[in-house]
Amino acid sequence: MNTELKLYGYWRSSAAYRVRIALNLKGLAYRQVPVHLVKDGGQQHAPEYRALNPQQLLPLLVDGETRIAQSLAILEYLEEVFPVPPLLPADPALRAQVRSLALHIACEVHPLNNLRVLQYLTGELGVDDAAKNTWYRHWLHTGLTAVEQGLAVFAGRLSLGEQPGYLEACLVPQVYNARRFNCDLDAYPRILAMTARCEALEAFKQAAPEAQADAQ
């Protein structure tokens, strides 16, 4: 190390948003390479991008010869290569709890509401927009209910008083996405409080979708 960090992303991609937050929290400089998820049938499927990332998803972090897909793999890499400031608590039990809630968002909620899944519902399966939105909200609320309860158990240790990091990098983009789909989040006061605290911080403001050069 150290070459220029390059982040392939899209302003509205919540997985890329996670990585922007982590990079900003660590104070790392990086260059963004926009990949438009809708234009040209989705530039994530273009041969040039597929050659870099056969998963055909954003984000992708490039650090010299190293290419890393999957936002949480990227967060783990950043944590190991640039340990200060940390994204994860020092205590192993708390680290596991942070990872557990973050993984719940990243593995249980986000994939079911991702662009290609929604496109498959409305395209191949012929589901109408109302049903698609019902699907979106169902998986969002199922996931956020579990996260809200998780925060209740660990409040004051994981969140709301801790330095933001790994968990917040996953939570804030998920809340952004939920608001974009007009989901009512009143049932999640801990999630909303945590999000509001984060959104007031410079690292989060600069990572926000609307602050990106490719925002439309």
Ligand X SMILES: N[C@@H](CCC(=O)N[C@@H](CS)C(=O)NCC(=O)O)C(=O)O
Footprint of ligand X (CB under 6 A):
13-15, 37, 42, 44, 57-59, 70-72, 106, 114-116
Task: Name which of 58 and 98 has its Cβ closer to ligand X.
Answer: 58
Radius of gyration, alpha carbons of the chain:
17
Q: Which is nearer to ligand X, 93 or 107 (CB)?
A: 107
Task: Give CA–CA dist 151/143, Å, rounded.
Answer: 12
| Alpha carbon 18 to chain centroid, angstroms | 4
Q: List CB contacts of 74: < 8 A, sequence separation 6 or more.
A: 19, 22, 59, 61, 68
Cα separation, 18 vs 10, whole angstroms: 12
Residue 62 Cβ vs ligand X, minimum distance, rounded to whole Å: 14
Q: Which is nearer to ligand X, 54 or 161 (CB)?
A: 54
Chain residue at closest Cβ approach to ligand X = 116
If DSSP states are collapsed to H, E and C, what string results for 158-178?
Answer: CECCCCCCHHHHHHHHHHHHH
For the bound state, the minimum distance from the C-beta of residue 156 to ligand X, rounded and expressed in Å, comes to 28
Distance of alpha carbon 25 from alpha carbon 23, whole angstroms: 6
We find the least distance from the C-beta atom of residue 11 to ligand X, in angstroms, to be 11
CB of 113 to ligand X, least distance (A): 9
Question: Which lies closer to ligand X via its Cβ, residue 170 or residue 198?
Answer: 170
As measured in angstroms, the least distance from the Cβ of 40 to ligand X is 12
58: nearest Cα among 121, 116, 124, 122: 116
Residue 58 C-beta: closest distance to ligand X, Å: 4
Of residues 34 and 59, the one with the C-beta less far from ligand X: 59
Q: Residue 26: which of 174, 215, 206, 172 has the closest Cα?
A: 206
Cα dihedral value 195, 200, 203, 208, nearest 10: 70
Q: For ligand X, give the closer residue by CB, 33 or 193.
A: 33
Considering only the C-alpha atoms of the chain, give the largest distance between any 2 of them, rounded to a whole number of Å: 49
